[in-house]
Structures are given as C-alpha cells and as structure tokens.
A and B are shown apart, each in its own frame.
Chain A
Amino acid sequence: MDYSGSILQTDVMTSLDVEKIRADFPILSQKVHGKDLAFLDNAASSQKPQQVLDATNNYYKTQHANIHRGVYHLSQVATFAYENSRKKIQKFINAASEKEIIFVRGTTEGINLVASSYGKDNVKAGDEIIITHMEHHSNIVPWQMLCKEKDAKLQVVPINDDGEMIFEELEKLISEKTKLIALAHISNSLGTINPVKDVIELAHQHNIPVLLDGAQAVPHEKVDVQELDCDFYTFSSHKVYGPTGIGVLYGKEELLEKMGPYQGGGDMIKSVTFEKTTYNDLPHKFEAGTPDIAGVVGLAVAIDYVESIGYDNIFQHEQELLKCGTEALSQIDGLKIIGTAKNKASVISFDMDGIHPHDIGQFLDNDGIAVRTGHHCTQPVMDRFNVPATTRASFSFYNTKEEIDRLVAGLIKVKEVFS
C-alpha cells in the first residue's frame, strides 16, 4: 500500500510545539529494540514529564515527614505540600470545597470507596444499580460485589454497534428501585465520550446520584464537577501524567458527610478509646493511614503541567491525531475499528481479521511501538463485538503523526507475515 499523498503527508495543524513537549519526557527519547520508542498506550498509563519527576524527588529530598502529626518544621512543610495540592486539585476540577477532594490509590479505589461506604447505607435488597455495557471491570465488579452482598440487582444499559450507550434504554431502566448510576465519562476500550450531562440531568429528575469514572476523561478534557453536577467523580493520577498509586475521589459534601468511613486507622479519627471512636471531619474521614504524600505532590505538578499546555490545545492536537489515525488505519484491508462513536477521545481499538492482537503487538514491539493488546479490562465489550481481544492505540499530546505512520507501516508488515 502506498501512502504518499495520503492525509498523513499533511501536517497536523495545531498550536502545540510537540518537540518541545517531548523534550520534557525523558522516557520518550529512549530506544526499544534499537528503534525510537513510539508510546501509543496512553489510555493504560501515560508517561511523566521531568517536572513531575523533579517534584517527587524534591519532596523526598527536602520536605518529607509524616503529615498532620508533628509540630516540627518538616512535618508542617510536608502537610502544607499535601494540603496545598488538595487545593490545587479542588480548583482543577472546580469542586466547591476542598473537603470534597479525597485522595485514594486510583480510580478503582475511588469506585470501591463509594460502593462500600455509600452502598452500605443506601442500597438494600431489591434495589438496583445502573451501569453501562462499556464499563471497565473496575466499574462493574465493585457494584456486583455490593449487589451480591445486599441482594440488589445490577442493571446494564446496552450499547449500539458504534459503541455508544443507548440513552432510551437508560430511561427505561430507571425506576424507584434505582439507587445509583455509575458510568464512564469516556470509555477506555472504545474511546466513546458519554453524554454524561444528559445522564446526570435525567438521573437527578429521579433523585438518583451519579458516579462518573473519569479515568479516561481527565487526561483529555477539562472537567468541571459543578457544571456537570455529578455526585461522585473519580480519576487516577498516572493517566494524567502524574505518579502511579494515587488518585482522586470527588464527592458532594452533603453525600460524603452522611457516608460512613471506608477504612479505619490513623488520621481518620478525632478521638479513640476502646469503647468509642469519633471520626475525623471531611476529607480526612476517608483517608486512613499515611497517604502517598509524594504522589499527591507529583499529581499537583502534573496538573500544573497539563494546564500549562492547555486543554484546548490538547484536545485539538489529540483529535487531529485521532482523525489521521482513523483515516490511515481504515485504509488497511481487513482492519475494522471497534468503537466508532460520533464523540470520541483519541483511542483507536481495532481488529485485523484472522490475526490475533498478541501477534500484532509482538511485531509492533519489535518496531519500538507500544500498543495495548487484550480485552482492556472490558470483557463485556469484547463479547458485544464478538472479538476475544483488540489492539488499541491511544494518543497523547506528545504523540506525532510520524508515529501513526510507523504504526500503519508496522501493521502492513504484520499482514504480510500472516497472509
């Protein structure tokens, strides 16, 4: 196949200086199997800029002590760094109060916290929780566990052939038994951007709270929790260029106030006797034990970094890559893109007939190209599209058109080997 003269030859017209940005990410300049690394697995986890590496390193070098405890200088410095990061994150997602920002290990823990603490007091036998067919396992299993424990029922909104949720089906599923709706803001395996504002509006007409799994959304678009009016929102640091092992759960203060704690331990208490414990105020009530302080500090710097590039620029560049990638991959015979929603993030999942994604991934790896192969923790999505697995390329603001060219060339080579 000859790609000269194809859309790939035209420059991506964005205001981003991608080369300058790439220079901030030391890992991107390395060679893999003798080839330049083309990192196209950003939906799984994104790479870290030097600014984040420096911030966590500097924290341990000059600021570390346990927080909320010591009267000494370092403990106060560390506490300030931690709590100041919370304020930054509050502003970042426009939460009404810093009490609404709870640090967790990641999106998975955020969802588990709500399923456990909110579910304990608000879900009883015969009640229902609604999710969609495109959820990540982390937004399925905690609800399944809750439903099993409470003898409640999990209802699933179906998706259409483009990988979009069928809104009318959600309307039909809502009833007085519905206690919560939990859905992905953006799907990790299909790239679909869900109409979350419409879902929330509909849910609130029935007084049903909504949890958004924002793991795939925060890296790509500006999130304003008050504008969305969502009740819970959770995301992971490592997908938004921050350290691994830390994430954020946002919850409306009035809901969090009423919820019981998630884990017991230090820092989540006001006073403890063997007879009785008084729990701490928000947000500390949900943060038992010494948290990942360096992770929180790194996340705040990652957010600064993303904001310095600007979401408008990020969106424009990534959408251009998505368009280029979609057009280029569509020209490969036998390649079928899974997930063709009208509103999509820069994620392309595909099936290349007869060739297993693991074989594709192995050959691409040899060319230095990192893509995700497998079920992407969304087995129900794979079943829906009748494939055991897909190959997925997901783009960040630091990816280039040239990397998409290499992906296409690599795929054509794979086809030749397996034809």
Chain B
Amino acid sequence: MMDDLQELYQEVILDHNKSPRNYEVLANHNHFAEGDNPLCGDHIDVYLKVEGNTIKDIAFQGKGCAISKASASLMTSELKGRSLTETKELFEKFHKMVTSEIDETPDMDGLGKLAVLSGVKVFPLRIKCASLAWHTMNAALENNKELISTED
C-alpha cells in the first residue's frame, strides 16, 4: 500500500505541486475555461493562446489538491507548442491511462512526463483530481463558456 501511495505522490508530482509551471493569468489568451470539482472544492482556470493549429502558450491558476495542481502543471508543460491534433491525441491517451483497469497496462507511448500520473488509477476518488485540468483545457479549446464540473 505504501508503494501505491509513493507511486501516487512521486517526487515529480510533489515538485509540480510546490512549484507549479505556467501558473499565471495568460495575457492575450484567446481561449479560456473554468473547471470545478465540487466534491473536493477544487477550482481551476485554464488559459490558451492558439495560433492556427498550434498552442502557442498555455497557463493555469486555481486551488486544489497536489494531484490536481501537479496534473495541471504537467499538462501545460506538455502542451505548449503542440498542435491541436496532438493535443487531442494526448488527452485521449491520458484519459485512458488514468481510467484503465488496475490490472491493465495502458499504452503510455508519447505521454512523457504525464506518465507519472498513472498511479491515480489505484485511487478511484483521485482520478477526477488528475482529469480536471484536461477537461477544462478541452472545454477552453471548444470555447465552452459554461463552468466545467467533474460532477456533470
């Protein structure tokens, strides 16, 4: 069990929680969405600057647990400079990784640092913490003006 907990709270996650990357309000953003996890009281704002088919810049702000904050931080680090097609693929892959069955080994090729979040699938209640930033980012790209909730 301690191994599962250590797997969940790896150094990389603790580091991104303590010093989140791209933690700011992005000036000149052209996409924005807010996400809520009412069960935890987590809230996140995601800002994107998209030019053509490319995410030129991405940032976030919010409050939440270590998992949600680290996931948002890692996401912004991974997505900066990516094409929208790659972003969509990564989102799907990430989603599969955190929601796969415990005994299943998901395809983590190309996920890079995001793979450190694979530990959440052992803790069903924390999957939403890891996914919140991604769903909010997706809503921002779709220009969804409504507040995104993990409970909808």
Contacts and interface: CB of A to CB of B under 8 A. Distances in A.
A362 interface: yes
Contacts of B64: 356, 388
Contact of A388 (B14, B42, B126, B129): B42
A374 B41 contact: yes
Interface residues of A, number: 18
B43 interface: yes
B63 interface: yes
Contact of A417 (B14, B42, B126, B129): B14
B9 interface: yes
A382 B14 contact: no
Nearest to A358: B65
A388 B129 CA distance: 14
B25 interface: no
Contact of A374 (B40, B43, B126): B40
A173 to B, nearest CB: 28
B67 interface: yes
Interface string A342-371: 000000000000011111001100100000
Contacts of B126: 358, 362
Contacts of A239: none
Interface in A383-419: 388-389, 417-418
B27 interface: no
Contacts of A417: 9, 14
Contact of B66 (A356, A366, A379, A389): A356
A375 B64 CA distance: 13
A379 B17 CA distance: 24
A12 to B, nearest CB: 30
Contacts of A375: 41
A359 B64 CA distance: 10
Given A358-B40, A374-B41, A388-B43, A33 B1 contact: yes
Contacts of B123: 362
Contacts of B12: none
Contacts of A34: 1
A374 B151 CA distance: 15
A366 B2 contact: yes
A362 B18 CA distance: 18
A375 B43 CA distance: 13
Contacts of A418: 14, 17-18, 66
Interface string A27-61: 00000011000000000000000000000000000
A382 B43 CA distance: 14
B68 to A, nearest CB: 8
Nearest to A356: B65
A388 B1 CA distance: 28
Contacts of A355: 66
B2 A388 contact: no
Contact of B67 (A359, A363, A379): A359
Contacts of A33: 1
A358 B43 contact: no
Interface string B71-104: 0000000000000000000000000000000000
A359 B66 contact: yes
B5 A362 contact: yes
A388 B64 CA distance: 8
A379 B9 CA distance: 28
B136 to A, nearest CB: 16
Interface string B5-43: 100110000100110000000000000000000011111
Interface of B: 1-2, 5, 8-9, 14, 17-18, 39-43, 63-67, 123, 126, 129
Give the 5 A-B CB pairs with smallest separation, nearest first.
A388-B41, A356-B65, A358-B65, A389-B41, A33-B1
Given A358-B65, A358-B67, 19 more contacts: A33-B1, A34-B1, A355-B66, A356-B66, A358-B126, A358-B129, A359-B9, A359-B66, A359-B67, A362-B8, A363-B5, A366-B2, A375-B41, A388-B41, A388-B64, A389-B40, A389-B41, A418-B17, A418-B18
Interface of A: 33-34, 355-359, 362-363, 366, 374-375, 379, 382, 388-389, 417-418
25 contacts: A355-B66, A356-B40, A356-B63, A356-B65, A358-B126, A358-B129, A359-B65, A359-B67, A362-B5, A362-B8, A366-B2, A366-B5, A374-B39, A374-B41, A375-B41, A379-B41, A388-B40, A388-B41, A388-B43, A389-B40, A389-B41, A418-B14, A418-B17, A418-B18, A418-B66
